[in-house]
Amino acid sequence: MDRRDFLKKSGAAIAGASGALSLPLLTACDPNVARPDSPLAGRKWGMVIDLNKCKSDCTACLDACREENNVAFHNDKRWDIHWIRKVNIRNKESEDDVEKPVILLCNHCENPPCAQVCPVQATYKRADGIVVVDHHRCIGCRYCMVACPYNARFFNYRENEEWPNTEYPKRSHGVAESCHFCAHLLDQGRRPACVEACEAGALHFGNLDDPESEVSELVANAPVKRIRDDWGTEPKVYYMGL
């Protein structure tokens, strides 16, 4: 073996060894790999919103969300936080050119841009598909607010003084937050506060992985749309009558 061959072969051996050794490190860094014993695995929560049933003057879901999750309301649009909100939009291409209310909340994307940009992995996707913020870990850099294409993320510019539901923690000044499908209620076997509060039956919630569930049947059979389906974020919030 001459000098040239030796250098070639040893270089190839080092490259191969470093690749093989770094593979477990890379998989360990993947935020989407859940622990095998996690009780969350095997489900994928999703929501179907029937906008035809939603009334424009009703705010039951918005109020229920604030009450349940201690969402800050300062009565000032610079600092108000909305986990779920209602906007009136008009589709000029449709026959009836009237304003319709649209419920907007975190879409709990299958490929969440907010979780991809989070530098401290405070935002991540749980094993059941819910995109959550670990507020202990959040450093308040607001990258997720920039990354979210649905403007679902809000920042605590001020300390929240209101504390309507003492069973659930509030957030301190300086962290980002968004809807988490009331994960604490799901763990108790309940449904999200907005779904429980909606008397018109416009909000449907369930397991998208279960073909028997209400949401799966609606997604399969009803004319549903997702907001900006072409972006590849794969939202888990579907709309009827959008």
Backbone angles phi, psi at 50, to 5 degrees: -95, 100
**CB closer to another protein, 35 vs 77:** 35
Say which amino acid occupies 106. C
**CB closer to another protein, 155 vs 238:** 155
By CB under 8 A, tell whether 190 contacts another protein: no
**CB closer to another protein, 100 vs 135:** 135
d(CA 107, CA 46): 9
User: Residue 71 gets which letter from DSSP?
Assistant: -
Residue pair 198/56 in contact (Cβ under 8 Å)? The answer is: no
**CB closer to another protein, 182 vs 203:** 182
Q: How many of the chain's residues bind another protein (CB under 8 A)?
A: 26
CB atoms within 10 A of CB 208: 19
d(CA 226, CA 230): 9
By CB under 8 A, tell whether 232 contacts another protein: no
**CB closer to another protein, 101 vs 174:** 174
> CB of residue 61 vs another protein: minimum separation in angstroms?
24
By CB under 8 A, tell whether 124 contacts another protein: yes
**CB closer to another protein, 140 vs 149:** 140
Residue pair 52/59 in contact (Cβ under 8 Å)? The answer is: no
> CB of residue 25 vs another protein: minimum separation in angstroms?
19
Interface pattern 31-50 for another protein (x via CB under 8 A)? ---xx-xxxx----------
Residues 126-185 that bind another protein (CB under 8 A): 126-128, 132, 134-136, 140, 159, 163, 166-167, 169-174
> CB of residue 38 vs another protein: minimum separation in angstroms?
4
- Contacts with another protein by CB under 8 A lie at 34-35, 37-40, 124, 126-128, 132, 134-136, 140, 159, 163, 166-167, 169-174, 187
